[in-house]
Amino acid sequence: MAIQGPIPIGFDQVFPHGCYAVGEVEQVKDFDASASGRTVYAKDKTTGELVWQVAVMDQGRAAQGEEAEEGPGRR
């Protein structure tokens, strides 16, 4: 049986040492629904709320001197 909906995971599981925001908070564009000159923003499939994104740096990796950005599609 396939998982339906988002996978429940806590912030502490993903970033046990915390994280830094390194970019601006932006609305996620729905490129499939957008048309020429008309931007449509993505909505959460479960709640219908608008989806936002921000690039972050994992504090655990930053403390080790590594550059590691996390964000949509780069998990």
Q: What gap in Å lies between CA 48 and CA 45, rounded to an integer?
A: 6
How is residue 72 written in tokens? 């949509």
pLDDT, residue 37, reads 85
pLDDT, residue 12, reads 93
Q: Could you report the average pLDDT of every consecutive run of 10 residues in the chain (75 residues)?
A: 82 92 94 88 92 93 60 50
pLDDT, residue 75, reads 42
Would you kindly state where each structural domain of the chain is located, as residue ranges? 18-70
pLDDT, residue 25, reads 96
DSSP letter at 37 equals: T
